[in-house]
Structure formats: structure tokens, C-alpha cells
Amino acid sequence: MPIAVGDRLPDAVFKIKTARGIEDLPVRDLCAGRRVVLFAVPGAFTPTCQERHLPAFLERLDELRAKGVDEVACVAVNDPFVLDAWAKATGAEGRIRMLSDGNGTFVRALGLEFDGSALGLGVRSRRWVMLVEDGVVKALAVEENPGEVTVSGPETVLRALG
């Protein structure tokens, strides 16, 4: 059963690229005592993710922060090197944290994975957005079609924040 509003995020560890190399970032450390927006893309550099989903969060980042969001982070089943390159290529570096779930452990624990093997992608994350407060999901929207951005954009979170 997929994660739902009111649920606590599962224990998982993301990989992030830093100036020191690849480091672990446990979900609990990311979210403890903080209001975080997490959004997931099926893949870095893929058309909808690159042209519509990530740019929407970059455009509305100041509004999200003004409403009390401590951090906006993007989850993808890509390696941390790819996500670092994507952040640099899109202007997200230093603005939106890129969280590598390279093995899909986190998205499987959420119940939000899909099998993209027919397209040569393997297991990937569905496209979604959630507002998390101190590790608890306060708002969640999941796209039915991974090629669309209809409910998984920043507008969903801004509405939830009032």
C-alpha cells in the first residue's frame, strides 16, 4: 500500500554528491524538525522532468520558502553523479537538493515505484510531490501518467500551506 498523508517517511538513506565526494543523507536527518518539500521525477535529463517539473519548482522556490518551507529536494532513481550534473545544467545547484535513490530503495518503501523496463529505464519513481513536516507526510499528490505534471508541481504544496 502506498504511503499516505499522516504516515511517517520510511527509514532510508539517500546518496548526495558534495565537495568531499559521495555522502549518505538519512531521511531522518533531512526531515528532523523541518518542513521539507520532496518531489520525485522518473529520471534526470528526461524531457518532462527537465522541461516542466524541475523548472516549476525553481520558479516557485521563493514562494515556498516564504510559506515556511526549509528545503526543497528532488528524488530520483539516478546515481548522485547524474543528479549533480543535472543540477548544474538546470541552475538547480545550491537551490534544490538532489537526492539519489539509485537502487530505488526509498521509492519502493513508499510504494511509489514503477517498472520502466519496456523503455530501458528499469525501476523508477513515479512522479509525485509531498510536503513533509518532521518526517510526517502532510500533503501528497501522485501523477497517474509519468509523462504529465498536473498535480505534482509546487502549486499543490502552496495550496496545502495556505
What backbone torsions phi and psi does residue 149 show, to the nearest 5 degrees?
-130, 85
Q: Which triple of cell numbers denotes residue 115?
A: 517498472
Task: Indicate if 49 belongs to the active site.
Answer: yes
* Full 3-state SS string of 46-65: CHHHHHHHHHHHHHHHHHHH
Distance CA 82, CA 140 (A): 26
Cα dihedral angle (131, 155, 71, 106), rounded to 10 degrees? 50
CA 64 to CA 102: how far, in whole Å?
27
Catalytic residue among 9, 25, 37, 49: 49
* Distance, CA of 21 to CA of 15 (rounded, Å): 10
- Mind telling me the catalytic residues? 49
